[in-house]
Structure 1
Amino acid sequence: MRFNKETFVAGFALFSMFFGAGNLMLPPLLGYKAGDMWSLVTIGFVISAVIIPLLGIVAHAKLQGTMLDFAKKVSPQFSFVYCLLVYVISITLPSPRTASVTHEMAIQPFFDVSSWLTSTVYFALVLIFVLNRSKILGLLGKFLSPVIFIVILSIICISFFSTQASIAPSDFQTPIISGLLEGYQTFDAIGAVVVGGVIIISLNLKGKQDFQSNKKLIIKSGIVAGIGLLIIYSGMIYNGALFNTDFDATISRTELLSGISFKTLGSIGKVFLSILVGLACFTTAVGIVTGTADFMKGIFDNSQKAYLITAIIGCVLGVLMGQFDVHYIITVAVPALMVIYPITIILILLNVVPEKFTKPKVFRSVVVVTIIFSIPDFLASIGLKNSVAPILEHLPFGKYSLAWLLPAILIFLIMNSYLLLQKKQD
């Protein structure tokens, strides 16, 4: 498998759209709490934040349509509602979170300005990039992403070679599951179905219409992005574990990230971290707003006006929601993730599996069962844990917020067996 310059540009562009606020803040604290079990936590985190998103890109390469194609085998109506939910969640939670993190970590430590000013300037710049979407792949892949990658890699390498402290025991009883669920907060699986579409449209705008060539390019760029995420995530989780005796147990995500950068790069670490945070958050916001605007443009008969209006609304929402602090946005995101993430994971997996195993009846059955069995997890996340506790206790993996997993696998096997039997009888 050959990787040329175009593959790396597209791969780094994908990496930058994936790698945002949560991707930067979540791994160090996860490693900090994981302690000596950091490697097990990394496995769980990589499953939900690298492997599943990479499969999402493979699914896009296979379909090469819009996000509506991900759920079209369930029904056109379901597909539309699902896509609408994903885009609404994306522009109201992870996109504004990028502005909130940028203010807290890159602006506030140096300048006495309000979060209103930060968010307004930030999303004005996002809007400029989104309105010049034909240049997005080149700008992100050639310039911004390599800077992000090099700065993070510097922090990881310096920590690795300079830290001698012993690693404390883990706080987690089920480290792999804890890592898996924390990976939800990166929004990377949702990001895969959103930004994968951005890559496809960007290739089409550049005149690349050959299906097989585009398929190979998209898959290879997904592999490049996946390797980048794997290196950064595992390195930052390990960093958090290395420093888990150096900080107070109540330390926040942003404080830990700042502390690690200071210990590795000294006083200049703050400056590097500010640049890193700003770039990482910005590229993700650009990807999310562009993806949402592309979706609405497609809904309204390829209307450029719909694209412009959606981009403006996405940026205005970013300014408004960006006034909340990072911890609050992460907390608010949990119920939404408990609903949309299982469905997204299942849709990604079903679109990757060979078509002979994913007939429309199989698609519908698996998705419906996933929705039904993810309801208890959703109810638990909104404060009704005591009410649904008896149900979750009797469901396999229920206590790990994965009650939907085994039923989805079983119905997939049952439906395929049933259709095979039916075919033999005919």
Structure 2
Amino acid sequence: MTKQNTLAIGLMTFAMFLGAGNIIFPPFLGLQAGTHYLPAMLGFLVTAVGLPALTLIVMGRLSHSQQLTAALPKPMATGFWVLLFTAIGPAFGMPRAVTVAYEMGIAPFTSNDLLMPFSLAFVVATLLLTFQRGKLVDYIGKVMTPLLVLLLAVLAVTAFVSPVSPMTLPNADYQQQAVTQGLIQGYMTMDAIAAVGFGWVIIKTIQDRGASSTNGLFASTVKVTLIYAALMSACYLAMAYVGATSSAVASEATNGGEILTRYVAELFGIYGQYLLAVIIVMACLTTTVGLTNACAEYYQQTFNAPFSVTAVIVCALTGLLANFGLDHILKISLPVILVLCPVAIALVITALMVKKSPYQRYIFVATVSVTLVFGTVDTLHILGLIPAQWEAMLVDYMPLYTAHASWFLPCLTTLLFSILANASLSQRRKAAVSISAK
């Protein structure tokens, strides 16, 4: 694959990940971390960029996204993928993108309720770009992403050259545990699960651009991932710096969107609001296009469903749910996403560490099952559904419970034990075959 194609796919990958949430999340962390901005961002980048990057590299090594679950029983594998694409697609991820694009890109400039016509126009634009399957890299990687990067660079450079205010002292959470807090906040972006979904589009695009061999596909995936990781890290650092230097205008802000709105208004006035509106709308559009492609690719390859039909259904459901409001669908879809995220990470780690063997399926099933159980506990904790009488006990006796990662150690322990058991059983099997041969 040529260097030009590698760069274009890397830019496309960055754009698909760069949703509105990725832009408005770091400023709030920066505001809270203050002078501990860099240690906090170090932890944040490990989980917010490192985990998705690892996921993409592993999927590149597998050469096909579906191989990630190939060792699972078919009903379990199919259930995972269907739930994943439903959750990050029309049930949550895409309606959220449409709603955020409207609330930050359109609503500040009008007193009328234009959500319905805006959502219709937005999903139609998404659909039109999605239908240009062969030109997806050209539209997003070569046109939209450079423009998006340019707009973000204008904001970032201005903030570095002429910050609104000096950094303040960190709040209580970031005074002694800035790195730990950054790790937690980065994990909560849930981009690891997005990487599993986007993997379908990215791997297919790399293959279509000439990386046909297994080694060539893996090498190209690593290069694409490095481009994504570098750009995303720079974006996160810049947006967090904006938050860290915004106390003079946004000290009481409760979210990153509010911080950005006040910051650009202070720096650029009304033109800053226009700039922010364009950035947010473009970021959301590239994300919905990527998610629609991922959903349609999966259903076409797995169920032979026509790509165009699936894309239309996904976009229609997205437009419909965006108008119902996210508060209603969050109650249903958010728990699914919170459970699927640790399961997706467990699958990636298992695929990375486990070699093919007659007992491979048992290792995957055991690891995923244990992760599912403890991931459900974390989900109940995040949603505030753990009974009060259990809370203190779980805090005292369950490692990483307060970090919403109590699944990690049981997952890793199960995986390592299963690998050792697999090695022992494989040696016994070889010995038995050797004896019978004699």
TM-score, normalised relative to structure 2: 0.88
Structure 1 residue 409: Cα displacement: 1.5
- Mapped to 2, the partners of 1:148 and 1:36 lie a distance apart of 28
Q: State whether residues 99 and 322 of structure 1, in contact with CA within 8 Å, keep that contact through their aligned partners in structure 2.
A: yes
Q: State whether residues 168 and 244 of structure 1, in contact with CA within 8 Å, keep that contact through their aligned partners in structure 2.
A: no
Which residue of 1 is the match for residue 281 of structure 2? 278
Deviates further, 324-333 or 256-265: 324-333
Which one has a bigger Cα radius of gyration? 2
- Map 1:35-54 onto structure 2 (within 5 A): 35-54=34-53
Specify the SS of the correspondent of 1:338. Answer: helix
Q: State whether residues 43 and 181 of structure 2, in contact with CA within 8 Å, keep that contact through their aligned partners in structure 1.
A: yes
Deviates further, 14-23 or 131-140: 131-140
Q: State whether residues 155 and 265 of structure 1, in contact with CA within 8 Å, keep that contact through their aligned partners in structure 2.
A: no
- Mapped to 1, the partners of 2:244 and 2:70 lie a distance apart of 43
- Mapped to 2, the partners of 1:181 and 1:116 lie a distance apart of 36
Please tell me the residue identity of whatever aligns with 2:7.
Answer: F
Q: State whether residues 189 and 345 of structure 1, in contact with CA within 8 Å, keep that contact through their aligned partners in structure 2.
A: yes
Distance change >3 Å, CA 421–CA 236, structure 1 → 2 = same
Deviates further, 277-286 or 128-137: 128-137
Deviates further, 280-289 or 124-133: 124-133
**Identity across matched positions, percent:** 24
Q: State whether residues 184 and 337 of structure 1, in contact with CA within 8 Å, keep that contact through their aligned partners in structure 2.
A: no
Structure 1 residue 246: Cα displacement: 3.0
Which residue of 2 is the match for residue 355 of structure 1? 355
Q: Deviations over 1:265-296 (max 9, x none)?
A: 34321111111111111000000011001111
Structure 1 residue 230: Cα displacement: 0.7
Q: Deviations over 1:122-141 (max 9, x none)?
A: 00110111122121112111
Please tell me the residue identity of whatever aligns with 1:201.
Answer: K
Q: Deviations over 1:54-90 (max 9, x none)?
A: 1111122111223x32122232221111101100101
Q: Indicate whether 1:221 and 2:220 are aligned.
A: no
Which residue of 1 is the match for residue 410 of structure 2? 407
Q: Indicate whether 1:200 and 2:199 are aligned.
A: no
Of 193, 197, 210, 2:213 maps to: 210
Distance change >3 Å, CA 31–CA 166, structure 1 → 2 = closer
- Mapped to 1, the partners of 2:4 and 2:14 lie a distance apart of 15
Specify the SS of the correspondent of 2:387. Answer: helix
Q: State whether residues 84 and 337 of structure 2, in contact with CA within 8 Å, keep that contact through their aligned partners in structure 1.
A: no
- Mapped to 1, the partners of 2:330 and 2:231 lie a distance apart of 24
Distance change >3 Å, CA 400–CA 208, structure 1 → 2 = closer
Q: State whether residues 249 and 262 of structure 2, in contact with CA within 8 Å, keep that contact through their aligned partners in structure 1.
A: no
**Residue segments in structure 2 that go unaligned for 5+ positions in a row:** 432-438
Which residue of 1 is the match for residue 337 of structure 2? 337
Q: Indicate whether 1:83 and 2:81 are aligned.
A: yes
TM-score, normalised relative to structure 1: 0.91
Structure 1 residue 53: Cα displacement: 0.6
Q: Indicate whether 1:299 and 2:302 are aligned.
A: yes
Q: Deviations over 1:149-197 (max 9, x none)?
A: 1211221221122125232322425433433343345342122111121
Q: Deviations over 1:326-356 (max 9, x none)?
A: 7887787653332111111111222233626
Specify the SS of the correspondent of 2:170. Answer: coil
**Residue segments in structure 1 that go unaligned for 5+ positions in a row:** none
Distance change >3 Å, CA 167–CA 197, structure 1 → 2 = same
Distance change >3 Å, CA 344–CA 396, structure 1 → 2 = same
Q: State whether residues 156 and 236 of structure 1, in contact with CA within 8 Å, keep that contact through their aligned partners in structure 2.
A: yes
- Mapped to 1, the partners of 2:202 and 2:303 lie a distance apart of 20
State how many pairs are aligned. 421
Runs of 4+ in 1 over 4 A off after TM superposition: 204-208, 324-334
Which residue of 2 is the match for residue 180 of structure 1? 183
Distance change >3 Å, CA 329–CA 258, structure 1 → 2 = farther
Distance change >3 Å, CA 86–CA 379, structure 1 → 2 = same
Deviates further, 356-365 or 138-147: 356-365
